[in-house]
Every structure is written in C-alpha cells, then in structure tokens.
Amino acid sequence: MPEQYYFNLTDGEQVIHDEDGVQASDLRSAMLSAVEALEELGSEIASSGSWHLPWQGWRLEIVDGSGRSLQSIPLARLVESGVPH
C-alpha cells in the first residue's frame, strides 16, 4: 500500500515544507522520486541563474506522514552534478 512522503528543504534551522508530498510504495521509491526532484531543482536553479542563493549546507529531507525524517540528501549534490554556482 502506498505511503505519503514529503521532501522538505532545510539548512538545520530553516525549513521549507513540502505541502504536497508524493505517494510511494516504499522508501526506495521515495528516494528515486527525491533524486528526480533534486534534478528538477538543479535545472530550475541553473536556468534562473539563482545558484548565488545560499544553498550551501541545505539538504532535502524525506519525511513520512508523521513528520519523522527518514533520509537526508545534501543539496551539494546539485553542485557535483554540474549545476553552475
């Protein structure tokens, strides 16, 4: 049965909450969706030229419906993927 997962962005102090989330059959599927979301975010950042924003130290956290953090992916991955900064 699919579960609801949310992809919040955080720097440890500030949190940008994902209000919609995604349904996935398990954490692995949610991770794949999170990687796709990061790729989309990287494309948006690259096309807007807004990488100058302070994304250093931010991460995408996968949380379940109860708000429990399950996995964390550093946004530094966007830099490693070749997004200009």
- Inter-CA distances, 80 with 3, 42, 50, 62, 71, Å: 30, 11, 16, 20, 19
Report H helices in the chain. Answer: 27-48, 76-80
Mean pLDDT by 10 residues, the chain (85 residues): 93 93 95 86 68 72 94 74 46
End-to-end CA distance of the chain: 40
Extents of the domains making up the chain: 3-80
> What does the pLDDT read at residue 83?
46
Residues in a beta bridge with 37: none
